[in-house]
């Protein structure tokens, strides 16, 4: 629904109404509260929700688990509310919809119904999924004053539908491109210019580098917009030269999602499915847990949304373990059809944004640091990392160790290399899954097979890294939660600083 207003103002597209059909169980879900309150605040007047108000959920009467007055609830969100006393009265439902269409607010139409009406389980939760037997069907047809033949699908209709479905499936195999998809394909040909990055910016935090890069891409892409879940001051994910998108300004390119992570992901999916604009949403990496179902649907539906997750390790600081991700990064990598990118240099961040902006069939997740990066690496190195999932930052022909790291831990790997009494390679691996998908020969072109040991350095769970480390390799990760402390103290106390890692490597090679 947010998308409809944006397109009508900025691109002069025809706007229309969005309808949703929900039940009692749907309105118990937390995301319904998040989405409905946001829709009310945004005054999304073309959103109409039909509420199947039968007071029954899957396990029994609604009152077993919920006594919410949904009419009052939606009124408090700023919605118009309407009621239809008889769900079988189609004229009353039609009239309520016509009234809702003229509203300057989103509308909830509560339609009183009897679940399984006219059947053997009318008004009971059993109507949710209990199959009707032959006798039940006869009784139901009698109650509806129709013949049993009404429940049979005519052979000609069935044949016609199969034919139409087959045609639709063939069309989906060769989808027509929307204006946005065509634009994105053109960017793959080199028309989307990757920004150059000053050396002083390269040494800043990943989130700050990302903010700078985002502005330059936003100038090239007028259909790019997004926002943060009440964390824009921390995630830095905003288009600085634009205002907020709200009821008074439908041309704004920044959405204030509020503390609604799940709804943010759901809204992003809706915007992307509608097409014509490119959408991003940001929060802390630890909070990606709140929106996992939305991310999974992004992947299932092949919608190219952009998730920006910052504050990606135990170096978050005094916020402590609740804000310090440990298992989230590897969990996100496990989702099919998602590009999870954890860039370790400024140039890798720039190309990660380019990759996200040109994707047309899968979501992209950018994992960005709160801690500072370094000036190492260049455009060629970053391009190699984008193409193969990993690339060397530092190469030594006589290396005995491959130090493999992601994100801000690349800086730790460089410090470790400087402390070791023998030569080592430093490798940034921003896209683990892509590297794992390479043929063995291509892998060895990046991770030197003649080095005696692979050492993994990532501030997250060790799970999932053994294939890269191999049997004789070392994995420096976290299998417990972090702590509330300054970044350098947390790293030292958890054995994750350069001195501790280098000492362990030296000991292991004795």
Residue pLDDT, tens place only, 400-415: 999 999 999 999 999 9
pLDDT at 56 over 90: yes
CATH of the domain at 314: 3.40.50.970
- 15 pLDDT band (50/70/90 cuts)? low
Q: Answer yes or no: do 496 and 352 share one domain.
A: no
Q: How many CB atoms lie within 10 A of CB 376?
A: 18
- What was the pLDDT predicted at 1? 46
Residue 111 lies in a domain: yes
Identify the H or E element spanning 428: strand 424-428
Q: Answer yes or no: do 342 and 395 share one domain.
A: no
Q: Considering all CA atoms of the chain, what is the largest pairwise distance in Å, rounded to the nearest integer?
A: 90
Contact 302, 272 (CB under 8 A): no
Q: How far is CA 86 from the centre of its chain?
A: 40
- Please report where in the chains the tokens 């704004």 appear, as a residue: 252
- What was the pLDDT predicted at 98? 97
- 177 pLDDT band (50/70/90 cuts)? very low
Domains of the chain: total: 3
| DSSP secondary structure code for residue 289 in this structure | G
Q: How many CB atoms lie within 10 A of CB 358?
A: 18
- What was the pLDDT predicted at 237? 96
Would you call 261 a catalytic residue per the annotation?
Answer: yes
What pTM, to 2 d.p., does this model score? 0.90
Structure tokens at 309: 């997750």
For the ranges 29-38, 128-137, 143-152, the maximum mean pLDDT occurs at 29-38
Q: Answer yes or no: do 274 and 335 share one domain.
A: yes
> Which of the residues 261, 339, 392, 409 is marked catalytic?
261
Q: Answer yes or no: do 33 and 107 share one domain.
A: yes
* Ramachandran category for residue 88: left, alpha or beta (phi over 0 → left; psi -120 to 50 → alpha): alpha
- 189 pLDDT band (50/70/90 cuts)? very low
The whole-number average pLDDT for the span 226-238 is 96
The whole-number average pLDDT for the span 243-251 is 92
Q: Answer yes or no: do 424 and 490 share one domain.
A: yes
Residue 379 lies in a domain: no
The whole-number average pLDDT for the span 19-25 is 94
Lowest average pLDDT, out of 145-154, 165-174, 427-436, goes to 165-174
Q: Answer yes or no: do 64 and 116 share one domain.
A: yes
Residue 216 lies in a domain: yes
Q: What angle (nearest 5°) sits at the alpha carbon of residue 154, between those of residues 151 and 158?
A: 110
Residue 217 lies in a domain: yes
What is the Cα–Cα distance from 102 to 273, expressed in whole angstroms? 26
Q: Answer yes or no: do 202 and 332 share one domain.
A: yes
Closest C-alpha among 49, 33, 35, 39 to residue 81 = 49
CATH of the domain at 500: 3.40.50.920
Identify the H or E element spanning 414: helix 409-419
Residue 106, helix vs strand vs coil = coil
What is the Cα–Cα distance from 423 to 456, expressed in whole angstroms? 16
- 178 pLDDT band (50/70/90 cuts)? low
Contact 404, 489 (CB under 8 A): no
Length of the chain: 510
User: Read out DSSP for 138-166?
Assistant: HHHHHHHT--GGGGSPPHHHHHHHHHHHH
What is the Cα–Cα distance from 99 to 45, expressed in whole angstroms? 12
Cα→Cα distances 382→242, 249, 347, 428, 429, Å: 30, 38, 6, 9, 10
| DSSP secondary structure code for residue 60 in this structure | E
Residue 163 lies in a domain: no
Q: How many CB atoms lie within 10 A of CB 392?
A: 20
- What was the pLDDT predicted at 311? 94
pLDDT at 168 over 50: yes
Q: Answer yes or no: do 305 and 413 share one domain.
A: no
pLDDT digits (tens, 9 = 90+) for 273-303: 888 899 999 999 999 999 999 999 999 999 9
pLDDT digits (tens, 9 = 90+) for 345-390: 999 999 999 999 999 999 999 999 988 898 888 899 999 999 999 9
Burial class (CB in 10 A: 0-12, 13-18, 19+), 155: exposed
What is the Cα–Cα distance from 23 to 338, expressed in whole angstroms? 31
Q: Answer yes or no: do 347 and 429 share one domain.
A: no
- What was the pLDDT predicted at 190? 53
pLDDT at 21 over 60: yes
- What was the pLDDT predicted at 10? 47
Residues facing 278 on adjacent strands: 224
Q: Answer yes or no: do 200 and 337 share one domain.
A: yes
- What was the pLDDT predicted at 166? 79
No. of helices (H) and no. of strands (E), the chain: 22, 17
Q: Answer yes or no: do 104 and 184 share one domain.
A: no
Q: What angle (nearest 5°) sits at the alpha carbon of residue 292, between those of residues 290 and 298?
A: 135
The whole-number average pLDDT for the span 311-340 is 92
Among 98, 130, 162, which residue terminates a domain?
Answer: 130
User: What b/e readout covers 292-308, taking b as 16+ CB neighbours within 10 angstroms?
Assistant: bebbbbbbeeebbbbbb
- What was the pLDDT predicted at 4? 44
Burial class (CB in 10 A: 0-12, 13-18, 19+), 141: middle
The whole-number average pLDDT for the span 53-77 is 95
Residue 121 lies in a domain: yes
Among 89, 114, 130, which residue terminates a domain?
Answer: 130
- Dihedral of alpha carbons 112, 117, 118, 121, sign: negative
User: Read out DSSP for 188-235?
Assistant: IIIISPPPP--HHHHTSBHHHHHHHHHHHHHHH-TTEEEEESS-HHHH
Closest C-alpha among 22, 31, 25 to residue 51 = 22
Q: At what angle do helices 30-41 and 261-274 cross, to 10 degrees?
A: 70
- What was the pLDDT predicted at 180? 54
Residue 161 lies in a domain: no
Residue 112, helix vs strand vs coil = strand
Cα→Cα distances 256→2, 61, 110, 356, Å: 12, 37, 29, 21
Among 102, 130, 158, which residue terminates a domain?
Answer: 130
Mean pLDDT of the chain: 90
pLDDT digits (tens, 9 = 90+) for 145-159: 888 777 788 888 889
pLDDT digits (tens, 9 = 90+) for 470-496: 989 999 999 899 899 898 898 898 888
Residue 234 lies in domain: 179-367
pLDDT at 326 over 70: yes
Q: Answer yes or no: do 271 and 233 share one domain.
A: yes
Residue 320 lies in a domain: yes
């Amino acid at each position: 629904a947010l998308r409809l207003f944006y397109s009508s103002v900025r691109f002069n597209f025809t706007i229309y109404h969005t309808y949703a059909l929900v039940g009692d169980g749907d309105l118990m879900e937390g995301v319904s509260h998040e989405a409905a309150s946001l829709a009310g605040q945004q005054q999304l007047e073309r959103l109409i929700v039909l509420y199947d108000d039968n007071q029954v959920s899957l396990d029994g009467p609604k009152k077993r688990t919920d006594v919410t007055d949904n009419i009052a609830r939606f009124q408090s969100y700023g919605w118009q509310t309407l009621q239809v006393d008889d769900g079988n009265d189609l004229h009353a439902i039609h009239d309520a919809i016509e009234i809702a269409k003229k509203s300057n607010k989103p509308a909830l139409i509560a339609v009183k119904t009897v679940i399984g009406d006219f059947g053997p389980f009318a008004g009971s939760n059993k109507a949710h999924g209990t199959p009707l037997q032959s006798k039940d069907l006869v009784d139901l047809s009698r109650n509806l004053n129709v013949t049993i033949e009404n429940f049979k699908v005519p052979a000609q209709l069935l044949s016609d539908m199969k034919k139409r479905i087959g045609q639709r499936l063939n069309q989906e195999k060769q989808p027509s491109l929307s204006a946005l998809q065509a634009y994105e394909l053109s960017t793959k040909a080199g028309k989307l210019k990757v920004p150059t990055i000053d050396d002083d910016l390269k040494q800043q935090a990943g989130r700050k580098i990302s903010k700078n890069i985002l502005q330059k891409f936003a100038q090239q892409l007028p259909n790019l917009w997004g926002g943060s879940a009440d964390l824009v001051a921390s995630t830095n994910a905003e288009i600085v030269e634009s205002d907020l998108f709200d009821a008074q300004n439908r041309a704004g390119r920044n959405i204030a999602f509020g503390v609604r992570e799940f709804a943010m992901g759901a809204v992003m999916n809706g915007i992307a499915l509608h097409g014509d604009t490119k959408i991003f949403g940001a929060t802390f990496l630890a909070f990606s847990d709140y929106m996992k179902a939305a991310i999974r649907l992004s992947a299932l539906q092949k919608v190219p949304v952009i998730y920006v997750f910052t504050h990606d390790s135990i170096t978050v600081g005094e916020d402590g373990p609740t804000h310090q991700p440990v298992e989230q990064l590897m969990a996100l990598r496990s989702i099919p059809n998602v590009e999870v990118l954890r860039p370790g240099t400024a140039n890798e961040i720039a190309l990660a944004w380019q990759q996200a902006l040109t994707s047309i069939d899968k979501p992209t997740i950018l994992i960005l640091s709160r801690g500072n990066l370094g000036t190492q690496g260049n455009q060629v190195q970053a391009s190699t990392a984008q193409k193969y999932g990993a690339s060397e930052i530092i190469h030594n022909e006589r290396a005995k160790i491959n130090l493999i790291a992601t994100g801000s831990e690349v800086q730790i790997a460089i410090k470790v290399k400087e402390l070791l009494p023998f030569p080592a390679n430093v490798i940034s691996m921003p896209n683990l899954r892509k590297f794992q998908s390479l043929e063995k020969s291509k892998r060895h072109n990046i991770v030197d097979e003649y080095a005696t040991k692979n050492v993994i350095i990532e501030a997250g769970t060790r799970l999932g890294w053994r294939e890269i480390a191999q049997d004789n390799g070392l994995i420096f990760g976290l299998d417990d939660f972090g702590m509330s402390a300054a970044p350098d103290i947390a790293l030292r106390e958890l054995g994750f600083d350069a001195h501790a890692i280098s000492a362990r490597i030296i000991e292991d090679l004795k």
